[in-house]
Amino acid sequence: MNASTFVSMAFPATAMAAIGFAFGRAYFAALRRSVELLAMRRGAFVPAALTLARVALATTVFLIAARLGATALLAMLAGFLAARTVAVRIRRSTA
């Protein structure tokens, strides 16, 4: 691998990691909202709809990343997991 190959792979990977992080933040915000709605015991339709939407969107986003290649998929997963870490730390600090 030479320098130009590294640079040509680094930018898309960084972009996919950022997309994964942004998607992860939205995903875990929706998850938190679903849990809050379930805890209020006002019905299960909205939390179920949020869950289905989250799963469908996650499947779509990760399938698109997989079609872009292994590097894109792994970078997006890394960003998503970083967002999970942030969400857990935020939740622990407020609990």
pLDDT score at 13: 86
The model carries a pTM of 0.84
Name residues of the chain where pLDDT drops below 50. Answer: none
Token pair recorded at residue 4: 């130009």
Supply the angle between the helices 45-68 and 3-40 in degrees, to the nearest 10: 170
Rounded CA gap, 95 and 90, in Å? 9
